[in-house]
C-alpha cells in the first residue's frame, strides 16, 4: 500500500523526506516546526536562512526543501499551511501544500515521504476537513506518478489518526 497512517513523532521517521508545517518566515516556531528544528539541529535553519536571502521566505501553499540535518530523514520539505478563517480559498491553499511538497519530493528523488497534519494545530484548520483534503490530494498525486513509493501520514494526536484512517479506508477500497 502506498498510503499509510501511523501515530508517531515525525522527527523519528527514517524516510527520504519529512514535511514541516512551517510559517512563511521559515525561521522556526512551535509545534511540529519546533520539534523538527530541535531534533534536526542548526543545519536546517542555516539552509532556511539561505532560502530567505534568496527568495524572501515561503508563501502559503508553497514549499521549499532543506537538508534533514541530524534527523533520520534525508530532507525536510517546509510548507506553509493556511491559517483557518473559514474561507473557501483556505482549502485550496491546504491542498497546494500537499501537492507542492510532493512535487519537490519527486524533483529531489525522494521515494518515501511523511506528512504531519498541516494547519491543524496553531493554525486551527478543522481536523475533519483537513484530513479529507490531505488524503484526497495525496491520493490524486500518487495516481499520476510512479516516482513515489510511499507516503506516511504521521499523526501526533488520536483524533487526527482516526480521521486520516477513515479517509484512507475510503481511497484504499476503490
Binding site for ligand AR6 (CB under 6 A): 9-11, 21-23, 29-33, 35, 81, 116-123, 154, 156-157, 160
- The distance of closest approach from Cβ of residue 51 to ligand AR6 in the complex, given in angstroms and rounded to an integer, is 15
CB nearer to ligand AR6: pick between 2 and 9? 9
Whose Cβ is closer to ligand AR6: residue 21's or residue 113's? 21
In this structure, the dihedral spanned by the alpha carbons of residues 119, 137, 127 and 48, taken in order and rounded to 10 degrees, is -20
Contacts of 98 (CB under 8 A, 6+ apart): 115, 118, 133, 134, 137, 138, 141
The CB-side HSE value for 143 (13 A sphere, CA atoms) comes to: 9
Determine contact, residues 153/18, Cβ cutoff 8 Å.
no
Q: Taking the complex as a whole, how short is the minimal distance between the CB of residue 144 and ligand AR6, in angstroms?
A: 26
Catalytic residue among 9, 16, 33, 157: 33
Shortest distance in whole angstroms from residue 59 CB to ligand AR6: 14
**Residue 52: CB partners within 8 Å, gap ≥ 6?**
25, 26, 27
Is 33 tagged catalytic?
A: yes
Q: Contact, 113 vs 19, CB < 8 A?
A: yes
- Of the two residues 4 and 174, which places its CB atom closer to ligand AR6 in the complex? 4
CB of 174 to ligand AR6, least distance (A): 26
Query: What are the backbone angles phi and psi of residue 100, rounded to the nearest 5°?
Result: -65, -35
Closest to ligand AR6 by CB, 112 vs 117, is: 117
Positions marked catalytic: 33
Amino acid at each position: 500500500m502506498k498510503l499509510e497512517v501511523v501515530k508517531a513523532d515525525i522527527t523519528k521517521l527514517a524516510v527520504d523526506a519529512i514535511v514541516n508545517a512551517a510559517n512563511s518566515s521559515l525561521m522556526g516556531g512551535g509545534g511540529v516546526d519546533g520539534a523538527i528544528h530541535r531534533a534536526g539541529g542548526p543545519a536546517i535553519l542555516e539552509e532556511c536562512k539561505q532560502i530567505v536571502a534568496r527568495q524572501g521566505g515561503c508563501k502559503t501553499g508553497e514549499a521549499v526543501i532543506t537538508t534533514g540535518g541530524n534527523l533520520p530523514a534525508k530532507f525536510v520539505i517546509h510548507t506553509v499551511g493556511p491559517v483557518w478563517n473559514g474561507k473557501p480559498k483556505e482549502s485550496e491553499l491546504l491542498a497546494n501544500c500537499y501537492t507542492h511538497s510532493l512535487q519537490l519530493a519527486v524533483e529531489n528523488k525522494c521515494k518515501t515521504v511523511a506528512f504531519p497534519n498541516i494547519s491543524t494545530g496553531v493554525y486551527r484548520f478543522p481536523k475533519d476537513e483537513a484530513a479529507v483534503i490531505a488524503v484526497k490530494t495525496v491520493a490524486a498525486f500518487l495516481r499520476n506518478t510512479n516516482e513515489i513509493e510511499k507516503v506516511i501520514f504521521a499523526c501526533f494526536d488520536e483524533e487526527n489518526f482516526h480521521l486520516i484512517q477513515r479517509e484512507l479506508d475510503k481511497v484504499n477500497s476503490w
